[in-house]
Structure 1
């Protein structure tokens, strides 16, 4: 006999009761295996009451026993799965009354089992009305009648503390032996965070769409296959479409003549394959009404979070009127200069419009992180607007006076810094009386903007006082004893220095830090210069670059 089923139980029962009924035990076969049996027997006694033998029946119930144990194990695993699942699992009857809810569901909604079992899902975990305004009672009633229509369903639920949550439900009908609906088996997953993220994304898209459609220039984006994935109304009209939706998915070959589309694709490939930037290149294009228009076209790579090129962003500014005026006044240098000033003035006004829109959005944003991002964007765009203002106010639109531009930029940066910090920290600017072409002045101004703003923000914590210095000077040309051609370039050095707390690991911050420090490296490369840094104590950035002698 099996050790767990000693034979003495049988013998004791016989001595005590004279019989056994349905006693289950395990017997060992000759080969060492066991079988389960169910015994019913009586004790046969002599005249003195002494047991002579047993008379009974033993039934092999091994298969029944194994099936029973398998069922019990299956039920145990099912209970463990249901109770330990990281999802809401409940059952409700045909009237919506809760007949079961797992432990996760109870904890999620904040109820006890006694508070939910037997009660209707309405007004316990389902509100009468969603925050969207949808009435939920008709939906629950329909689910109870036709659960197959709601196999996958999303609706708003409510917790005991009144908190609203969004749940993605999977509903399955449970039928009785007659095939009639007995109850509904429901599994729910909390998607509140995803829903909130989707709503935030929708708001951001609405903001972006409004901003794009307000701009008087054509703005678009393309994927790696050259298909339009974003466009504003100006771009749609330029392509001959009534709505933006008609533009999406189109390629240049779907819209323009082959020779025109081929030119556009060649430019796109420079951006998509080589990562080049095409900035403010004048380009003709025949409009849908047959007239020839001229545009300033800019295209830059669009990169994903890993820095890989995933497409491009383009801006086309219609300069047809300016070009016609320039052609008509080609002989007059003054009039040509006035035309270019007007272009820069319009660009400046457009950038100021963008600044105003970003500023308005920042004022209406409650999230400090988003507000900080919008503030940085406003500052960067404002720096570019000030450059265009300096260009159209200068004597030559081809040269930007560095001293006036950078001093005015420093005054602006000091004015928008945290007042509490600005009162403790002085900003000193010493700038050489030099002039630069716009393609040099723009990254130079953005460098000053990023480094000074970063110093104001991080270098002087805990009421610390100090000084931020911005120096731009021309370095003397290297002297040599060997005769040679005269130098063709001039070397300048920009130094932005503070005596603040400093960064403990400046190189790591430059390599993988904030967007601002990433821009610093990128802008230094755009200047064709070298970037070095020192500190702590304090922090010093040096950017050395060259410009053509003429």
Structure 2
């Protein structure tokens, strides 16, 4: 049970909580909201005494062995007093057993008390710890592999570097930490700088993975060829706030052909010392020979007959990669030139290693490919690290969708609670319409949270849930209105299209349910969703195949949404493209937002057609 403040035994001048009892918190709905909140809520006086605790707050009271009326523990009392004396919000992280809470102190100086809100951030802390360990492991791997990692905070412009910095650049780690984006750019070869900056800008603009090569000036003035690969992390607003990248020296790779022609033995020694293997394939004889760290990578010695031909080598490739690898090799063999591929190879002990295989095809005077020479290296640890980062990103995105969905549900509940305080039917309807709009958005985040793909939404399945919910909400008292949904399966939309489209469906179906059928009237509301290539064979709402293809909404769009009813028809005195009602204003605005088009047909009822693109 939540408890009101205990004011017994306190002097008149020491009873700020009386204002609490007489103020807005006395309202029943607010008390219930606080009492049932999953977050901890406390109210304390300036002397550190606990005046109020909600049900969730009972957990901490039990841990502290306290009850309402007792003084807070010293670690909590100090920031509470600081907050009220300064009149500023204070924060404190509190660990209780395996749980971690963020306590936020909100002072109310004129009433001489402090509200304390506690949020369970245990999952967040665990995620942060996992990411920290993952990043530590990745940095260690980069250092051992002769690479370095950069971590760029876009908002602050700060860089963090780790790995084999001195080995690659000649600068000490301390010197390199002073590098910012401008300094790093100045070290790129002038002929490569513009291309590198364009690639960086494109990555920041689109959020896609970054991959590029350039020449980098070392401390001694010499240049090395480096390859950079990275990812952009986005915040809830979709803005890139962080860039993670790995930079490695590819000078040897760039000069591989020249070095092979001049001094193959020297190259073999270098590659062997870096943990790589060398292969030499005679195309005409179908003979494959190996040198270097082949046994370390595969478990087989360089002389093992199991690796003596192309056919035998392909038999060791993972079954899921085998066809792709063989086809790629066949195409490369016909084309000639450089060769590069990644796949999984079965080791001698039965386990699999991810390998990077690169080389160059040599041609004879007749222009025929006769030989392939290259290197193979084990990239298993890199692949595992990339997978760990990918999974961490997916977990973070799912958590974001889950939190947004929960917040929207809280808003919907608050609207529902607030509507109970009104008797005016129009006001109540306005609250319900707003609530349905919020629910339509919450459904999208719930579907994305439950989906394996956190980027796109199966809009057909979402449409069924949304329309059914709306139908149950508005059809109370009239069972003669029927709902018919015809949605093509597996139409996937990105969130920036799905949310506006969900609100559009909400508005149009709500209008049909409210206005298309007089009280007790009978009729049907129909929702159709097709990709344009399937429109003709599915037909439309009573029309022919020719009708389906007519209209501007069927031109230059990949998908078509139709919301129709056979009710009393759309009022002739309303211009649906310039309406005065909020619902139709929303529809027109959101159609423009998704770069779509909308048409209204009024033959035997009301029919809205919306053409849009961006289907996955």
With structure 2 as the length reference, what TM-score do the two structures score?
Answer: 0.36
Rg: which structure is higher? 1
With structure 1 as the length reference, what TM-score do the two structures score?
Answer: 0.40
